[in-house]
């Protein structure tokens, strides 16, 4: 966490590993603890309680979290009375076994039980540890709807869990069954954020386009002004109507959710950004089938076409796994071709690693590590070329940028993000404020960053 609160109380530092869902969980935990009288510290030094929010998506992420926990626990000899706990996905997956992995750990709380943290910490401080709490009941969400405030952008959970059961993915095991928050609860959270000065909302779900598919989220009398029927387009429309919200994003997507109505919503609703993260994972039908992704390469192509027909300026980012069991050179080349066809603005490329408890973990991991690395590097080089070419097309154009503040590397320049989620560094040449939306004339680019000069403020 990067916030120091000013109230008195026991001090807490939170270290986060993993995805945007984990980042949001850490903020929600922080807000919950502040309400219970704790004080958040940006650094470990001086913290009475250290929480490590863990990730289980890949073995490397778990190894990092375990290594961190062992270091912090070992340092307790220098900090008498300090309490160390693990929370999140790895805590949920390992259960009681985490106490064997990290000797001296004070507590471990899983994804379904984060709302119990104040009580767990107090119990440990009273000498009733170690405690492991990984109950399987539905997570209590509304006590975790709080935010720390002071940010222009915020994550808002709308869908918890996942029912897709991809062969390689541990998420359904650690995040539980799919469940959507009622729309009014989401809107109440968004309104509160907007009143605090937040200008950009990102709606989060492990498979966000499934919002409202498994449980009702709208009151019967609620009506969509634009005639939307599907739950997610209706929510995007409603969030757009909250005063103060300037931009709306949602992640992560799935090709099966890229309906004509969603495409229309992205084209018509003010503030919905022309960017979408749409994991592809592979371009080979054989591998997609083994992954149990639920679509073919042609299905993915059709989803992209549907979206870009409605939103020609759409920027797409994606996730790719190389070296999945059974992936041949022909399968890999099919992925390269589809990535070029889709013209991704960015891609997060991962070497396959088995996750215990998934179907794929029982299969032979038959692509050698060296070959996984080669394929990974090939795709990274391809993506750098593709990203640079796509950004080069923006040179000489004006783009709208939500101003975040001075650049980290050069305080005389400012930074922000375009609607297409590109980092833009610019020379302000006049007074601007964080939260402004400005026109920036793009003058030069790299594969992931664009540089330019301010050419006018749209609004504040």
Beta strands in 32-191 (DSSP E): 39-40, 49-54, 83-88, 107-109, 131-133, 153-160, 179-180
Residue appearing with tokens 């889709």? 342
Full set of structural domains in the chain with CATH: 11-133 (3.40.50.12160), 149-273 (3.30.750.210), 274-393 (3.30.750.200), 398-459 (2.40.50.140)
pLDDT tens, residue order, the chain (460 aa)? 444 444 457 999 999 999 999 999 999 999 999 999 999 999 999 999 999 999 998 888 899 999 999 999 999 989 989 999 999 999 999 999 999 999 999 999 999 899 999 999 999 999 998 999 998 766 677 889 999 988 999 999 999 999 999 999 999 989 989 999 999 999 999 999 999 999 999 999 999 999 999 999 999 888 999 999 999 999 999 999 999 999 999 999 999 999 999 999 999 999 999 999 999 999 999 999 999 999 999 999 999 999 999 999 999 999 999 999 999 999 999 999 999 999 999 999 999 999 989 999 999 999 999 999 999 999 999 999 999 999 999 999 999 999 999 988 888 899 999 999 999 999 877 778 889 999 999 999 988 899 999 987 776 4
pLDDT at 459: 60
* Cβ count within 10 A of residue 381: 10
Residue 96 exposed, middle or buried by CB count within 10 Å (0-12, 13-18, 19+): exposed
The alpha carbon dihedral of 142, 148, 202, 385 has a sign of negative
Q: Collapsing DSSP states into helix, strand and coil, what is residue 407? A: coil
């Amino acid at each position: 966490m990067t916030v120091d609160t000013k109230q008195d109380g026991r001090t807490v530092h939170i270290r986060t590993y993993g995805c945007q869902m984990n980042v949001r969980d850490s903020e929600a935990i922080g807000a919950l603890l502040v309400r219970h009288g704790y004080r958040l510290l940006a650094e470990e030094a001086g913290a009475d309680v250290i929480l490590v929010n863990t990730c289980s998506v890949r073995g490397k992420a778990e190894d990092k979290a375990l290594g961190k926990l062992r270091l912090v626990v070992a340092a307790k000899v220098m900090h008498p009375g300090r309490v160390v706990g693990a929370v999140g996905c790895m805590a949920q997956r390992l259960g009681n076994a985490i106490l064997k992995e990290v000797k001296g750990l004070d507590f471990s709380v899983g994804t379904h039980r984060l709302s119990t943290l104040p009580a767990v910490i107090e119990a440990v401080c009273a000498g009733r540890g170690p405690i492991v709490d990984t109950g399987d009941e539905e997570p209590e969400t509304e006590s975790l709807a709080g935010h720390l405030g002071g940010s222009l952008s915020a994550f808002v959970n709308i869908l918890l869990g996942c029912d897709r059961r991809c062969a390689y993915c541990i998420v359904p095991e650690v995040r539980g069954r799919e469940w959507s928050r009622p729309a009014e609860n989401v809107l109440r959270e968004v309104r509160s954020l907007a009143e605090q000065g937040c200008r950009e909302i990102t709606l989060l779900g492990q498979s966000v386009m499934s919002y409202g598919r498994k449980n009702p989220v709208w009151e019967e009398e609620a009506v969509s002004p634009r005639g939307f029927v599907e739950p997610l387009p209706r929510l995007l429309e409603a969030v757009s109507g909250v005063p103060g919200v300037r931009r709306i994003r949602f992640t992560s997507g799935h090709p099966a959710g890229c309906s004509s109505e969603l495409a229309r919503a992205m084209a018509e609703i003010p503030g919905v950004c022309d960017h979408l993260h749409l994991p592809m994972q592979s371009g080979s039908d054989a591998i997609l089938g083994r992954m149990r992704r639920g679509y073919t390469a042609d299905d993915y192509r059709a989803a992209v076409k549907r979206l870009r027909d409605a939103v020609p300026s759409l920027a797409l980012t994606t996730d790719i796994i190389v070296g999945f069991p059974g992936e041949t050179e022909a399968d890999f080349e099919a992925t390269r071709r589809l990535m070029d066809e889709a013209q991704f603005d960015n891609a997060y490329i991962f070497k396959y690693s088995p996750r215990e408890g998934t179907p794929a973990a029982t299969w032979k991991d038959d692509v050698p590590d060296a070959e996984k690395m080669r394929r990974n590097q090939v795709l990274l080089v391809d993506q750098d070329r593709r990203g640079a070419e796509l950004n080069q097309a923006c040179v000489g154009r004006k783009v709208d940028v939500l101003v975040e503040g001075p650049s980290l590397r050069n305080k005389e320049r400012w930074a922000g993000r375009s609607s297409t989620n590109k980092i833009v560094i610019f020379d302000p040449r006049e007074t601007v404020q964080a939260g402004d939306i400005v026109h920036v004339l793009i003058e030069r680019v790299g594969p992931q960053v664009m540089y330019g000069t301010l050419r006018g403020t749209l609004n504040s």
